[in-house]
Structure 1
Amino acid sequence: MPDTAHQPPYYSNAPVALVIGCGDMGVGCARVLGRRRPLLLADIDSQRLEASVASLADEGYLVSGTECDITDPASVRELAGQLSGVGGVEVLAHVAAVAGAAIGWRRVMEVDLLGAHRVADAVSPAMQPGGVAVLISSTGSYQCPVDARIESLLDAPLQPGFIDKLAEAFGREPDFLEAYFMAKQGINRLARRLALEWGPRQIRAVSVSPGLINTSMGRTSGAKTPLFDGQGNKHLVTRDVKAAREVPLGRQGSVLEIVDVVDFLASGAASFITGIDIPVDGGSTARLRSLGLISR
């Protein structure tokens, strides 16, 4: 009788779910996506990467990891080179991002926008028919200025001098939050572009915009967060106060409520959904529209 104690799961040679970023939302995405496919995790932090891979492996997932700095073109090319050996990519979940005003607006652009473009370009040849890219954005994307010159730059962030050109188009150097809003609008636009480019290959692309979510990054990026009062004024308040004032459901969302949407979008049930952004925000975007604070 054959020994099946260590027999690999039926999907062991299937295309992978590639998860970029091993924060709690990235690992949450890995947990739902890895139930039906092998996992490949990528993160700049080798210790966090190793801990995430070990934890998921202990839970029974078929998982491997690779260190990758998405701001470094050579590191992203190295990641792309590994994909030919894993049977391609069925799901790309791009979660990596930075937070906190102390980081600086240029770093926000390097990680949140340029990094995502580098990954998408590098992974494109490995994406398999029936696959999908799910790019994690933010409802802050809807607060990006509606400006054709800025949007044109956000569509091509890998061009030489992009960051300086963006500051010129914006009229000054943006602060962290303004840069974050623009970077995330760039993510939404990237998903739309990929949907058009990859559609003939039967590959989908969508962005997901979390609202106020109770994540470790959100909790550690600052005890205070901006509250917009509907009259153009901004105050710093706790996340609980912001949720009570700005979210119609009156609370923060959970990581699980985001990753369940990612799981749906990666499934056959979402096979005709592509080229859109999906806010998961408890109604906060609807509130901003009702107050005339956003026009997207």
Structure 2
Amino acid sequence: MITGGAGGMGVATARIVGRDHSLVLCDVRKDRLDAAVATLDELGIEATAVHCDVTDRDAVATLFDTASGLGPIASVIHTAGVSPSMGDAEYVMRTNAIGTVNVDEAFYATAGEGAAIVNVASMAAHLLPEEIIPTSLFPRALSDESAFMSDMLSACEMAPEEARSGLAYALSKTFVRWYSTSQAERFNARGLRIVSVSPGSVDTEMGRLEEQAGAGAMVTDAAVPRWGKPEEMAELLAFCAGERAGYLTGTDILNDGGVVASMRERARVAADEV
């Protein structure tokens, strides 16, 4: 199953995993979802489309019911998410954080031994100073959605209003990274793997929305000074979800062309020169 299946990374990943698995694509944009299924069909890859908003727990339950009706769930690749330019802080946080909880908890309740879920975080999850991340409040997302959302939006108020959706994005993806590591032992008790991947700036429609908001400059300053290709991310996502990665769980893989490494090293050098 691929959430966000109509997006650039979703379709690229579907082209790989669809070679030897039955495929379920879900997306909140029905027109784009239908187009993605048609594109895959031209490649000889059959996919079942499910129109689904991952922030709707009942819709996610229906999604998993549909997938389970096709056979055992081998893996879920959760690419569904939004960037800062796509909405306000509440929308960004709900989609990225609560959407992840909804999908992952449904996977935990539904999938059988040996299955894996791969969540898409972001390099933004590696850039926030530890002291501003309300990690102690993250577990509330599993027990009290309203309290969690209130806590996270309060945390975003440290930023000017025009920057809050950006902070919400970084915090929500930091949450995805936290969840994918903190829940590994619980998932393993049911024979399930959970991993997250943190892409850098990827040449997709959503990625390019952020080009003028700072992503373009980070690409220029990266160790690999170019945009990542959706296919490069797809290969990693597919590997993490597959049987060859059977020992991989409870971790995040940063795949950002060296952006974070370059920024940290340049900050260190600048500090030494002061």
Normalised-by-shorter TM-score class: 0.7 to 0.9
Whole-angstrom distance in 2 between the partners of 1:268 and 1:223:
35
Whole-angstrom distance in 2 between the partners of 1:51 and 1:137:
25
2:177 counterpart of 1:188? yes
Query: Offset of 1:157 from its aligned partner?
Result: 2.3
Retained in 2: the 8 A contact 1:83–1:126? no
CA radius of gyration, larger in: 1
1:248 counterpart residue number: 223
Question: Is the strand fraction higher in 1 or 2?
Answer: 1
Cα separation, partners in 2 of 1:147 and 1:256, compared to 1, 3 Å: same
1:50 counterpart residue number: 34
Cα separation, partners in 2 of 1:129 and 1:188, compared to 1, 3 Å: same
Q: Choose the corresponding residue for 1:120, options 104, 108, 131.
A: 104
Whole-angstrom distance in 1 between the partners of 2:210 and 2:170:
17
Retained in 1: the 8 A contact 2:23–2:46? yes
- Secondary structure in structure 2 of the residue aligned to 1:128: coil
- Secondary structure in structure 1 of the residue aligned to 2:13: helix
2:212 counterpart residue number: 224
**CA deviation vs aligned residue, 1:63-112 (integer Å, no higher than 9, x gap):** 11111111122212222332331223111100011124351111001111
1:179 counterpart residue number: 168
Cα separation, partners in 2 of 1:115 and 1:45, compared to 1, 3 Å: same
TM-score by length of 2: 0.88
Query: CA RMSD of the aligned region, Å?
Result: 2.1
Whole-angstrom distance in 1 between the partners of 2:199 and 2:260:
10
Retained in 1: the 8 A contact 2:177–2:196? yes
2:261 counterpart residue number: 286
2:203 counterpart residue number: 214
Retained in 2: the 8 A contact 1:130–1:202? yes
Matches within 5 A, 1:106-145: 106-145=90-129
Retained in 2: the 8 A contact 1:88–1:126? no
Retained in 2: the 8 A contact 1:225–1:242? no
Structure 2: which 5+ residue stretches go unaligned? 270-274
Query: Offset of 1:147 from its aligned partner?
Result: 4.2
- Secondary structure in structure 2 of the residue aligned to 1:279: strand
* Letter aligned with residue 213 of structure 2: T
Which portions of structure 1, spanning 4 or more consecutive aligned residues, are displaced by more than 3 angstroms? 167-174
Cα separation, partners in 2 of 1:210 and 1:149, compared to 1, 3 Å: closer
**CA deviation vs aligned residue, 1:139-171 (integer Å, no higher than 9, x gap):** 000123424871122333251232222233455
Question: Is the helix fraction higher in 1 or 2?
Answer: 2
1:231 counterpart residue number: none
**CA deviation vs aligned residue, 1:178-225 (integer Å, no higher than 9, x gap):** 111100011111111332111123221110001122111112x24513
Q: Say which structure, 1 or 2, has more relative contact order (CA 8 Å, 6+ apart).
A: 2
Structure 1: which 5+ residue stretches go unaligned? 1-17, 228-238
1:99 counterpart residue number: 83
* Letter aligned with residue 206 of structure 2: M
Retained in 2: the 8 A contact 1:19–1:41? yes
Whole-angstrom distance in 2 between the partners of 1:102 and 1:64:
27
Between the aligned residues of both structures, percent identity stands at 29
* Letter aligned with residue 204 of structure 1: R
Q: Choose the corresponding residue for 2:193, options 188, 204, 208.
A: 204
Retained in 2: the 8 A contact 1:137–1:209? yes
